[in-house]
Amino acid sequence: MDVIKRLEKLMTMDESSWHRHSNPWSVYSRFSVLPIISLAFWSREWIGGYSVIAILLSFLWVWVNPRLFGVPEKTNNWASMATFGERIYLKRKVEPIPQHHIKPILILQSLTSLGIPVFIYGLWRLDLSFVLAGNLWIMVFKAWFVDRMVWLYLDMKETNPEYSSWLK
């Protein structure tokens, strides 16, 4: 089982969660995750051991976010289609995706992951420049990945009636 499948299982994204996550408010507020986690870890400087509570709450936000907003009335938008593409990508072993998407997606995931050590180092050392650089690096490449998921959805929506039914 690959890492993304494990994360999806941890997130317990069922059909209802996916429909709610296609709400643009859910997608755009997701970009708050890294800054919130950063503040939570940084809070050890201000509140010591109580920062564990802030850290746990920041990870709870990761889990709650896709469930927080209602199912959108309209899904003909970038944010919704990004979640549709992600669903398709996560099912790629069951239903293959076009070959021209695989390499760019892997490159974007690799580039995103390069920011993680910078981010972690910054949090460990409480170095704001490293934390900000890590946040920026990860978010830029994650946004690019999300945009690629839109492209994937647009290429795949006509291949499966379920996929086309997501668009309203």
What secondary structure letter does DSSP report for 70? P
The Cα–Cα gap between 33 and 47 comes to 20
User: End-to-end CA distance of the chain, in Å?
Assistant: 33
The reported pLDDT for the residue numbered 14 is 85
Q: Is the Cα dihedral 65, 20, 70, 22 positive or negative?
A: positive
| Residues 6+ away with beta carbon under 8 Å from 131 | 38, 42, 119, 122, 123
Question: DSSP secondary-structure letter at 97?
Answer: P
DSSP codes, 71-85: PPS---SHHHHHHHH
Which bin fits 83, alpha (ψ -120 to 50), beta or left (φ > 0)?
Answer: alpha
For residue 93, give both structure tokens: 């072993």
* pTM score: 0.87
Q: Which amino acid is at 132?
A: L
Beta strands per DSSP E along 53-159: none
Q: What single-letter DSSP state applies at residue 95?
A: S
Q: What pLDDT tens digit does each residue of the chain (168 aa) get?
A: 566 666 656 667 888 899 999 999 999 999 999 999 999 999 999 999 999 999 999 999 999 999 999 999 999 999 999 999 999 999 999 999 999 999 999 999 999 999 999 999 999 999 999 999 999 999 999 999 999 999 999 999 999 999 999 999
Rounded CA separation 150/40 (Å): 31
pLDDT of residue 47: 94
Among 90, 77, 82, which residue's Cα sits nearest to residue 152? 82
